[in-house]
Amino acid sequence: LFRSSERTARREHARLMEDVNFKRGSVAPTPKGQSFVEAVNKWRQAIGPNLSPATVRQRESHFRAHILPKFKYHSLQAIGVHELQQFATDLRQSVWGTTIGILCTVFGVLDYAERCKMRVSGVKPSDLELGARTERTVVPFFTREQVSLILAEAREPFKTLFTLAWNTGMRAGELLAITLDDLDFTNKTIRVNKAADDNTRIVRQPKTKCSKAVLPMPSALEAVLRSYIRQWAPNAKGILFATRDGLRSR
């Protein structure tokens, strides 16, 4: 005889009960301590503090705008394949670009709930069909001529900030965390090993080792940086772009 795993059996049981309740026109009550919002609160307390502020803000935006309005008081066991598939399909019609991110937030909570021995349906991302987008996303970018116009109009410290971004491709958080010590004028390199949160400006280590790099410093960029440093107002942490007007008065 075929013997299924406990997870498979629970998933099938949840599906059958969902079908019975649907036909009866009733919904089974959520067991105490087993609602989705309670799992979210556990995640917030235990997992959230270990993530970067930007990631937490993104997750909270997902909860507030999409996830909790749909699943707040649902039983974890009642959030099965059909519920999540319909949720994904609805998201795809309105916010396609963030559908995957929102679903990752949902599965992150469900995964942690399962590890906490809360009863979940056992749905996995591979159980969902997301389809494919027929239109190719157009990635916007500045042309060399547009960059030249922007740099010509920009005032310091933005002129140097934009020049650094154009020459290195650094992310906003990485640019805002650059310090004087990260500039090696002898070897003509720029060290990237940290990032500043764009809201709190708290400097943190990068998420992965791949986020660390030593970038080349072209001669044109070197000249701009040297000129900027001559008028730059030093600060305790040595951050190059600490404020909007962090330059010595002329």
* Confidence (pLDDT) at 178: 95
Contact 212, 204 (CB under 8 A): no
What's the confidence (pLDDT) of residue 250?
Answer: 47
Binned at pLDDT 50, 70 and 90, residue 1 comes out as: very low
Please report which confidence band the pLDDT of residue 216 belongs to, taking 50, 70 and 90 as the band edges.
very high
Neighbours of 90 (CB within 10 A): 13
Q: Which percentage of the chain shows pLDDT scores above 90? A: 62
| End-to-end Cα, the chain, rounded Å | 87
Most confident of 1-10, 49-58, 199-208: 49-58
User: How sure is the predictor about 90, in pLDDT bands with cuts at 50, 70 and 90?
Assistant: very high
Residue 147 CB-half CA count within 13 A: 12
Q: Average of pLDDT values for 4-33? A: 63
Q: Residue 133 pLDDT more than 70?
A: no
pLDDT above 60 (res 25): no
* Residues in a beta bridge with 81: none
Q: Is the pLDDT of residue 158 over 90?
A: yes
